[in-house]
Amino acid sequence: MHKKNKASDVTRRDFIKTSAAASMVAMTPRSNHFFAAGSDKLRVGLIGCGWRGTGATINCVESSDGIEVVAMGDLFRDQLDESLTKLKEGIPPDNLRVTEETCFVGFDAYKKVLLSDIDMVILATPPHFRPVHLKAALESGKHVFMEKPVAVDPVGIRSVIASSELADRKNLAIVAGTQRRHQNHYLEIMKRIHGGDIGEIVGGQCYWNMGALWVERAQSNLINKKKHGWSDMEFQCRNWLFYTWLSGDHIVEQHVHNLDVINWAIGSHPVQAMGMGGRQVRTGEEYGNVFDHFAIEYEYPNGVRVLSTCRQTEGASARVSERLVGTTGKTYSDSGNCFIEGQNPFKYDGPTPNPYVREHTDLIASIRNGRPLNEGRRIAESTMTAIMGRMSAYSGRELKWDWVMNASTLDLTPPDYEFGDLPQQPVAVPGKTPLV
């Protein structure tokens, strides 16, 4: 289903150039001068009507003038209906042009949304489906906002990179839901890191350590519903956060944010990883086959080592942040704060517009000014960074980037996309689970 696409390294210069371009767009004020005569409307479709897809759609409408939401698609009708109700509550009627004829349900709903009269699509299904949906969207000539992460396995990552190259050829935009890339204090601290304010980076840490997921309190209800007629496939898709083939595990689905910040700062993906993890607290059937904690050591070019940890454990201390150590200073960053200590101290105290809205502002501005942003490759590489860590932890093996990117044949696609039997894959056992 996917074709291999050999990835080349992205240099620090490439990362800095891309970051600078994003910063310029982010500082461009919202203005009607982006609107061409007779084309002031941007028609948007939503594929994946969960809470994040619904939220992203509201953010999109809030971000810019002239946005019309005209089509929606989801695997489940009840989820689509709930999303539509929330959209009616969250955005003005003039911005919501969805009708019964433009609501689509099923595994092929994405195709029907793309056949609707839209200019841009929001992709917010579980990450497993992202490579196929992205490719289809670009082939149909649509600009794309896609939630992170963008794949769950190396085969999917290669597909996303190939699609990113297609977007360049077709002059189409791709912006990913890595909102830190559009957040003022992250943009400012990255400008200083890349300008040498902490000297050469020698190491760092990043974390997404939290309590229980918001959905965990409802898991007993999900099990009861399964006993009342849900097939394996439906149960897993509704419970997608806890299945590796759908979410990539929480290191991929969630911790990708922090790993993306580290790649951004260093200007490179890692060259190898050694990881560990396990499943100590969430052991019941309702938790699928994912781990509940990971710890990965990533090695970057020039011997720079970064420790990455992520955890979802009720009652445990929380830490969601990044730290970098350089030869002349060190940084701290999280979703609401950043500073530099050392020879060039800095603490951000400027404006803080909502980055979930700003990422759409930047995307739509780039479409309207004819210079579409393309974040496809960089989010693919950040997602692969997380996948590489998971693969190392699952297998207990040290992995090199070149092997994972170019040689691994791991493809978590199920045999069929239909509601029926789908045996749950076993929980990984380090030292026994094979590398593929």
10 Å Cβ neighbour count for 426? 9
For 12-181+357-376, CATH gives 3.40.50.720
pLDDT of residue 229: 82
Alpha-carbon span 402 to 273, nearest angstrom = 11
pLDDT of residue 225: 64
Alpha-carbon span 102 to 112, nearest angstrom = 8
CATH superfamily of 197-348+382-406: Dihydrodipicolinate Reductase; domain 2 (3.30.360.10)
**pLDDT tens figures, 72-114:** 999 999 999 999 999 999 999 999 999 999 999 999 999 999 9
Residue 295 has pLDDT above 60, yes or no: yes
pLDDT of residue 285: 85
**pLDDT tens figures, 19-75:** 334 333 333 333 333 333 335 899 999 999 999 999 999 999 999 999 999 999 999
Pairing of strands 305-312, 293-299: antiparallel
pLDDT of residue 221: 66
User: Would you report the helix, strand and coil content of the chain in percent, each value rounded to 5?
Assistant: 45, 20, 35
pLDDT band at 214 (very low <50, low <70, confident <90, very high): confident
HSE-CB for 91 with a 13 A CA cutoff: 27
Residues in Cβ contact with 401 at an 8 Å cutoff, skipping those fewer than 6 apart: 269, 270, 271, 272, 273, 384, 388
pLDDT of residue 12: 33
Domain regions of the chain by residue span: 12-181+357-376, 197-348+382-406
Q: Collapsing DSSP states into helix, strand and coil, what is residue 101?
A: helix
DSSP state of 140: T
**pLDDT tens figures, 321-335:** 999 999 999 999 999
Residue 1 has pLDDT above 60, yes or no: no
pLDDT of residue 219: 63
Alpha-carbon span 236 to 418, nearest angstrom = 12
pLDDT band at 215 (very low <50, low <70, confident <90, very high): confident
